[in-house]
């Protein structure tokens, strides 16, 4: 069982705002995209080998650990992650942490970097204020 210290979401949010303030949206994108080669390299490799079940298992593990309100389902060949209560946004709001101006963009950027590295594509529609999003993942056209 992994240790769950949700205040780290506030720390990440602070860091993302710091990077964007210093280096703009492009700097934020550079930083987050680079995580696909390091922090998320095991996920990239798993996605490449096992396909969408790798992402399904990843999200299932994380959102259960963090007690999020979510649903995972397949719509044809697309994996859909429907987040009805984001554990990160809800924790930050409940505990008075500042939420970075473009906090939820990190999901888009990291997802795109991970998927691109593994031959997949993705999309996300989010409502940062409400702490909700819908993420979709599918195999990229060759």
Partner 1 sequence: MISCTEFIWVYSELFRFLEDRGGEETVIELWQGISQDFLQNLRDCIAEDGLKGMHRYWSHTLGEEGGRHTMTLYDDMFVIDMHECPSARLVHRGGRVKPYPKYCEHCRWLYPPLIEQFGYEVDYYILDPEKGRCRLVVRKPPGANTPDA
Q: How far is the CB of 12 from partner 1 (least distance, A)?
A: 6
- Of 23 and 77, nearer to partner 1 (C-beta) is 23
Question: Taking the complex as a whole, how short is the minimal distance between the CB of residue 68 and partner 1, in angstroms?
Answer: 8
What is the distance between the alpha carbons of residues 30 and 14, in angstroms, rounded to a whole number?
17
Q: Nearer to partner 1 by C-beta: 18 or 140?
A: 18
Burial 117-134 (b: 16+ CB within 10 A, else e): bbebebebebebeebbbe
118-to-38, 60, 79, 108, 136 alpha-carbon distances in Å: 14, 19, 15, 15, 15
The minimum distance between CB 8 and partner 1, in angstroms, equals 4
Provide the binding-site residues for partner 1, judged by CB under 8 A: 2-12, 14-15, 18-19, 22-23, 27, 30-31, 34-35, 38-42, 62, 65-66, 83, 86-88, 95-97, 106-107, 110
Which of residues 25 and 77 has its CB atom nearest to partner 1 in the complex? 25
Distance CA 109, CA 35 (A): 10
């Amino acid at each position: 069982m992994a240790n769950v210290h949700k205040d780290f979401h506030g720390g990440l949010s602070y860091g993302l705002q710091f990077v964007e303030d210093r280096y703009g949206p492009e700097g934020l994108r550079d930083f987050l995209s680079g995580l696909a080669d390091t922090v998320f390299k095991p996920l990239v490799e798993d996605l490449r080998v096992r396909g969408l079940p790798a992402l399904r298992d990843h999200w299932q593990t994380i959102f259960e650990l963090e007690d999020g309100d979510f649903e995972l389902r397949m719509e044809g060949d697309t994996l859909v992650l429907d987040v009805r209560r984001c554990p990160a946004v809800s924790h930050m709001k409940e505990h008075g942490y500042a939420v970075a101006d473009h906090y939820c963009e990190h999901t888009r950027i990291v997802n795109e970097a991970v998927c691109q590295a593994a031959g997949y594509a993705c999309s996300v529609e989010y409502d940062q204020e409400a702490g909700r999003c819908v993420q979709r993942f599918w195999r990229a056209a060759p």
